[in-house]
Structure 1
């Protein structure tokens, strides 16, 4: 078995050594690259009435319409018990709470537009926790957040078997991990 595999590999290398071998190398590289791609481009989708659309302008408009409806739809909200209002100054953000929130953040998650994963903060250890504390304290005091942190991506993920029907997709929003950390800290307060 091993000898036949070795013979096959020798034959491939001999084919690649000749002048026409360059074309084969590019073809192999192109096929391997194509195999790594997960996302496929959808060339046809259905409109609201179920009619198939093929032009890229119509498809783009349909996606825009779909996401606007989905993202601006009001959902029922749970009623929160009335709490006594906080009077006076709100306490500062605590370093310990930042470190706890950072520890609870999962590794290996998709990053947002700034492509900065949570592992960056985690690998900085105590120094990273102190930097985050300083940043979040400044945001809390000024009540203003960097525009870069507020940017996000909305991606559609296919779930069902009919590709042309947009109702078979769900949307996820990819946020910067630092913003997720901020939200987690504020939520726990």
Structure 2
């Protein structure tokens, strides 16, 4: 077997095996084509790049639709959607932080973090230009789960009163 590896044929086999094993470890994130809003397949890196940017800019800057939710079962009466939406509009993150006793300097620091928030999208076609994000919590921030829980806690308190 070792003598076969010394030949040209053996070296070609080793190279082929190494190439196949390397390809098997690759992730499929290098697919360089996507569909646009009309379903047309884009293969130009600049167009792919712009499509990703437009998609995430729209996704990260719109409020999710608030459809009818499922009511709670058991001892608690189902909460009507209109009541919930009124309560939700009254609850704001900054007001919620203050009502839970968060010091004003931390409220202001969080406001600074959320003011003029910008992000980029990285894909196989490259990284987009930065764009503004004005809705929701910051993705990947260690603070976001705390802020979400705080807001939900205040909302639940208001709804259950």
Normalised TM-score (structure 1)? 0.38
Normalised TM-score (structure 2)? 0.43
Between the two structures, name the one with larger relative contact order (CA 8 Å, sep ≥ 6).
2
